[in-house]
Amino acid sequence: MSLLEVEDLEVYYETEQGPAQAVDGVSFELEEGENLGIVGESGCGKTTLAKSIIGILPDAGYINAGSINFKGDDLTEMNGAQRRRLKWEEISMIAQSAMNSLDPVYTIREQIVEAIETHRPGTGRVESNEIVTEMFELVGLDPERADDYPHQFSGGMRQRAMIAMSLALDPSLVLADEPTTALDVIMQDQILKRISQIQDEINSSMLVITHDVSVVAETCDRVIVMYAGQIAEEGPVEDIFNNPYHPYSIGLKRAFPNIRMENQDLLSIAGYPPELIDPPEGCRFAERCPMATDRCREEVPSEHEMGDLRTYCHYAEDIDQELRPYADDPETWENTVAAKNAGAQAGDD
Amino acid sequence: MAQEETTGSIFTDIDDGGSGEEINRWQRTARLWRETLSEHWGLLTDELSVKLSMLMVAFFMVVAVIAPYITENPPLQRQYESDAEIIILKWAEPSLLGADSGYLLGTTAEGFDIFSQLVYGTRAALLVGLIAAVFTAGIGTMVGLVAGYYGGKIDDALMRIVDFLYGMPMLPTVIILVALLGPSLWNIIFALIILQWRSTARVIRSQALSLRERPFVKAAEVAGAGDWHIISRHLAPNVLPMSFLYGSFAIAWAILTEAGVSFIGLGDPNTVSWGTMLQASRAYSALQFGAWWWFVPPGICIGLLVISGFLIGRGYEEITNPKLQ
Amino acid sequence: MGKASFVVRRSLQLVVTFWAVGTVLFGLFRLMPGDPTSYIVSSSMTPEARQAIIASYGLNEPMHIQYIKFLQNIVVLDFGQSFHSNAPVSEVIATYLPNTLVLMLTAFVLAYAAGITLGVLSGWYRGSRFERTAVIVALVARSVPTFYVGLLVLWIFGAGFGVIPMSGMTSAGTANLSFFAMITSVDFLQHLAAPALVLAYYFMGYPLLIMRSSMLEVLSEDFIDVCRAKGLKERTIMFKHAARNALLPIVTAAAIALGYAVGGSVLIETVFAWPGIGREMVRAVLRRDFPVAQGTFMVLAATIIILNFIADLAYGYLDPRVTYD
């Protein structure tokens, strides 16, 4: 049994124009001790996915279908109290923004102790403080400063404090939503190294949600590429980065600087993700894909097993054989940009 | 402030020289201001509550203008001689309730037509509200802009005056000023304006402080634009929404304060306002005699007009600060 | 800038504001047209008797001497003697101020307890019918003058149902109790209920609206998500985290509003004939009893100035992020 099994999950947001399908039929599994990355552009549904797993969807959001099984129990079937018991104790999170993820009017210690006391009512002051000290040491902060307020910490320290808090109850699963986005490059690197190191020590599972491919490369074993609420491709990190099959994975990989291939040109994928209120039929990426055909625009792609990868593209096999050099060439993508621009202009007239 | 004529502006090289220049400048300034206003006007009238409030204000304005055509009895003309000893017996009951008196809301104990007083009271309320609002917003904006733009000692001096005014209790100060200057509508308006501009000035100043650091103001400065030019053409159009907001709140506060001052007995004896009506009704114990048609309507009118002012201000606040929505 | 030097600087400002208010007050009463002494001396007196009385009030001395004495007297809280009753003004204040404070504080505590709670709830349940109703109630509460609501309450519950006393603070014949015994008597509470509730209703709108928009701002912050992820109870998140953060702006607002509330006591005290300092000021103004008017006004202004001062200091203790620069 996997630690986390998400099956055909659909999470919608109510809007004035009708439901927006933020997460649409997503399935994946996460084993104990494994680190899974979820990458995609902003608005692809990755944060919504994380929020529905933790159980903090905003009021307008709801789970339309599917299940989230955690250690064999379906989270979507649980009532509020049952759900609350699991929070932080079993599933905790490292929030997106280092600046605002801690309550400014309480000290770091108060906030960590609050989590401990909520879930383990019998815990004494001394024991709680020991946990705080232990966690601060774990993330590389001076335990003396646990009584500081968040604003007295730098951005990097705050993120460390956030990590310390997320690990305080020794959870089985930690969701890290853009854990390093708000930090500068050097601090990012330090934090990521620290996360990997802690991972080795405590053996909890982690779900890393980010738009930054390099974060996933550094921390994860397996990765899911999401596009417009759906999974585009899934598989081991090495395979996705070295030998992806989905055109979107290829484009995304080339959109970030890669230390190993310094002189590679960065490319940008033209256009924007589709509206999720009335998503296009067929493959959702077709609109922006340089290799799209009419079939792509009409027929929803099914799963293709390409070695260790799961790929949702009609032409996964063809990419393997003949299309790869074409898809890997920045010019292909630039031509698409040019074509789109031309198309847009023609459309205007 | 008269520096404008001597220093060049970034627009002067486009403008023609000579006598036409002066007019052109003012036209440009006016156009900038007009554009800001019309843009916000469009957004504002989208909101239903704001639309209703504007209709309400418009309705009262129409009533104020055509007052003599609505009622033929002047508000302060005795309809009959009354004897102080038997005042209560001389009341005319309201014809609205079926009495055969010819007065829609009856008469006061002194023999004045209540309906007529209600109608004419609109004039006083709007006069106080609008004049006080225009001056409150105007003076507050000017002071705020000057303080924020010049900074330093000028700012310090002006803000100390504002601090001092913030130490004055509104109603008691107005009461004392009116008591000393004499009870007239104009003195009430004057006393109101003296105190009310403080909040506008404070807000506009902080806006001007931040605007002053913006690139377009810096650019104008580098181009050698004069102080007055920068204030009137770069700062003022940008703070206009805020002055308008404070102006619409000032209408509401002014009407409320006038009603309060009049109710206490310092109202203008030669003008009828809703506040003086309430004062008279209390003085003649209308409450104890259950003559609700005398004291209920003026309060409702005050409430309607004031809430309109608040709703317009609130609607406007939501446009300028989307976080509140 | 450190906390200590902020307190020192702010205290100096406090003294200067007091001095300014006192000076303006002195000027107003002395420089106005008309002779203040004409109110204390009657024309039937002999010139000698008249001079004696004027001298006993110190009104015959040169202006600058009077001014210096005036300032000295303010420092020792000596505001002279009433023209009307000859009692020392400080005694008049000592009699009426506690009554005002009891009424205001009762109303204020009720208003802020209710207003803050409703504001927290309407921010938390944004978009619900509850929120819309609360906002409308708050706006109406602020738009209808308190004295008018007071009149209606007196008319309906006093004159109509006879369940509340029509005026005053105690019934006749219960006057000889000590202050503490009086304010804890049932009779007093019966008199207190109506004016306190009317005031509370009026005050409530302000904290409600501020709290609501402050909550909306706080609820969009990331740490609220973290709190929910921590598995905290809804109520804990709502009050311990969201409301606690949203409370910061309201503390300042409340302290300042309390100051203005005491200043605004004038109207409600007049309507309910509550023997408070506001009503006493109005009566002094109307009967030209300048020492009492001056003294009571000073007290009302001082309340505002001191509470503004407290608000500034309190902010630093509530928000650990405040740096005094």
CATH number at residue A144: 3.40.50.300
Neighbours of chain B (3+ CB pairs under 8 A): C
Q: Which residues contact residue B89 at a Cβ distance below 8 angstroms, ignoring those fewer than 6 apart? A: none
CB count in 10 Å sphere of residue A256: 15
- Of C45, C75, C105, which residue sits at a domain end? C75
CB contact under 8 A, C231 and A101: no
Residue C31 lies in domain: 3-75
CA distance A192 to chain C (A): 20
Q: Are residues A153 and A246 in the same domain?
A: no
Q: What is the pLDDT of residues C212-271, one digit of tens each?
A: 988 988 998 889 999 999 999 989 999 999 998 888 778 778 888 888 788 778 899 998
Q: Are residues A109 and A197 in the same domain?
A: yes
Q: What is the pLDDT of residues C113-158, one digit of tens each?
A: 999 999 999 999 988 889 888 988 888 888 888 889 998 998 888 8
Contact predicate C260/C202, CB 8 Å: no
Contact predicate B269/B183, CB 8 Å: yes
Q: Are residues A171 and A204 in the same domain?
A: yes
Q: Is there a domain that residue A265 lies in?
A: yes
Q: Are residues C113 and C62 in the same domain?
A: no
CA distance C181 to chain B (A): 31
The pLDDT score that the predictor gives to residue C321 is 65
Q: Is there a domain that residue C260 lies in?
A: yes
Q: Is there a domain that residue B306 lies in?
A: no
Q: Which residues contact residue C241 at a Cβ distance below 8 angstroms, ignoring those fewer than 6 apart? A: A103, C223, C224, C227, C232
Q: Are residues C100 and C71 in the same domain?
A: no
Q: Are residues A127 and A276 in the same domain?
A: no
Total structural domains within chain A: 2
CATH number at residue C233: 1.10.3720.10
Q: Is there a domain that residue B126 lies in?
A: yes
Q: Which chain A residue lies closest to C228 (C-alpha atoms)?
A: A56
Q: Is there a domain that residue B84 lies in?
A: yes
**Chain C residues within an 8 Å CB radius of B292:** 155
Q: Are residues C50 and C152 in the same domain?
A: no
Q: Is there a domain that residue B311 lies in?
A: no
The pLDDT score that the predictor gives to residue A348 is 39
Is some CB atom of chain C closer than 8 A to the CB atom of B177?
yes
Mutating which of C230, C315, C321, C322 best tests the A interface, going by the most A Cβ atoms within 10 A? Answer: C230
Is some CB atom of chain C closer than 8 A to the CB atom of B180?
yes
B vs C: CB pairs below 8 A: 131
Q: Are residues C109 and C189 in the same domain?
A: yes
Q: Nearest by CB to C229, which of A54, A103, A104? A: A54
Q: Which residues contact residue B201 at a Cβ distance below 8 angstroms, ignoring those fewer than 6 apart? A: B139, B140, B141, B143, B144, B147, B158, B162
Total structural domains within chain B: 1
Is some CB atom of chain A closer than 8 A to the CB atom of C204?
no
Q: Which chain C residue lies closest to B258 (C-alpha atoms)?
A: C145
The pLDDT score that the predictor gives to residue B25 is 67
Q: Are residues A46 and A144 in the same domain?
A: yes
**Chain C residues within an 8 Å CB radius of A105:** 244-245, 248, 318-320
Q: Are residues C138 and C259 in the same domain?
A: yes
Q: Are residues C286 and C156 in the same domain?
A: yes
Q: Nearest by CB to C151, which of B163, B287, B307? A: B287
- Of A220, A250, A284, which residue sits at a domain end? A220
Q: Is there a domain that residue C87 lies in?
A: no
Q: Are residues C185 and C314 in the same domain?
A: yes
**Chain B residues within an 8 Å CB radius of C270:** 263-264
Q: Are residues C35 and C124 in the same domain?
A: no
For chains B and C, having 3+ Cβ pairs within 8 Å is answered yes
Q: Is there a domain that residue C89 lies in?
A: no
CB contact under 8 A, C145 and B177: no
Q: Are residues C100 and C70 in the same domain?
A: no
CA distance B278 to chain C (A): 8
Is some CB atom of chain B closer than 8 A to the CB atom of C17?
yes
- Tell me which residue of A175, A176, A194 sits closest to A186, measured CA to CA: A194
What one-character-per-residue DSSP string does A241-308 give? HHS--SHHHHHHHHTS--SSSTTPPP----S-PPPSSSPPSS-TTGGG-TT--HHHHHS----EEETT
Neighbours of chain C (3+ CB pairs under 8 A): A, B
Q: Is there a domain that residue C210 lies in?
A: yes
Q: Is there a domain that residue A268 lies in?
A: yes
Is some CB atom of chain A closer than 8 A to the CB atom of C82?
no
Q: Are residues A251 and A210 in the same domain?
A: no
Q: Is there a domain that residue B307 lies in?
A: no
Q: Are residues A182 and A275 in the same domain?
A: no
Q: Is there a domain that residue B13 lies in?
A: no
Neighbours of chain A (3+ CB pairs under 8 A): C
Q: Is there a domain that residue C81 lies in?
A: no
pTM for this entry: 0.78
Residue A246 lies in domain: 242-348
CATH number at residue B156: 1.10.3720.10
Q: Is there a domain that residue C324 lies in?
A: no
Q: Nearest by CB to C139, which of B175, B180, B307? A: B307
Residues within 8 A of A (CB atoms), C 286-325 only: 318-321
Q: Are residues C130 and C31 in the same domain?
A: no
Q: Which chain C residue lies closest to A53 (C-alpha atoms)?
A: C229
Residue B118 lies in domain: 63-301
CB contact under 8 A, C229 and A56: yes
Assign 3-class secondary structure to chain C.
CCHHHHHHHHHHHHHHHHHHHHHHHHHHHHHCCCCHHHHCCCCCCCHHHHHHHHHHCCCCCCHHHHHHHHHHHHHCCCCCECCCCCCEHHHHHHHHHHHHHHHHHHHHHHHHHHHHHHHHHHHHCCCCHHHHHHHHHHHHHHHCCHHHHHHHHHHHHHHHCCCCCCCCCCCCCCCCCCHHHHHCCHHHHHHHHHHHHHHHHHHHHHHHHHHHHHHHHHHCCHHHHHHHHCCCCHHHHHHHHHHHHHHHHHHHHHHHHHHHHHHCHHHHHHHCCCCCHHHHHHHHHHCCCHHHHHHHHHHHHHHHHHHHHHHHHHHHHHCCCCCCC
Total structural domains within chain C: 2
Q: Is there a domain that residue C91 lies in?
A: no
The chain-wide mean pLDDT, for chain A, equals: 84
Q: What is the pLDDT of residues C274-299, one digit of tens each?
A: 999 999 999 888 887 888 888 899 88
Q: Are residues A248 and A211 in the same domain?
A: no
**Chain C residues within an 8 Å CB radius of B177:** 28
Q: Is there a domain that residue B312 lies in?
A: no
**Chain C residues within an 8 Å CB radius of A115:** 230-231
**Chain C residues within an 8 Å CB radius of B164:** 17, 20-21, 24
Q: Is there a domain that residue A237 lies in?
A: no
The pLDDT score that the predictor gives to residue B71 is 78
Whether the complex's predicted ipTM is more than 0.90 is answered with no
What 8-state DSSP symbol labels residue A75? Answer: G
Q: Are residues C57 and C115 in the same domain?
A: no
Q: Which chain A residue lies closest to C221 (C-alpha atoms)?
A: A100
- CA C256 to CA C258: how far, in whole Å? 5
At residue A145, does pLDDT exceed 90?
yes
* pLDDT tens over chain B, length 325 residues: 333 333 333 333 333 344 445 556 677 777 777 777 777 677 666 677 788 888 998 999 998 888 788 777 777 666 666 555 444 445 667 666 666 666 677 777 776 778 888 888 898 999 999 999 999 999 999 999 999 888 889 998 998 899 889 888 888 999 988 888 888 899 999 999 999 999 899 889 988 888 888 888 888 888 888 888 888 888 888 888 788 888 888 888 899 999 999 998 888 888 888 988 888 888 877 777 777 888 888 999 999 999 988 888 877 777 766 544 4
Q: Is there a domain that residue B2 lies in?
A: no
**Chain C residues within an 8 Å CB radius of B287:** 151, 154-155, 158-159
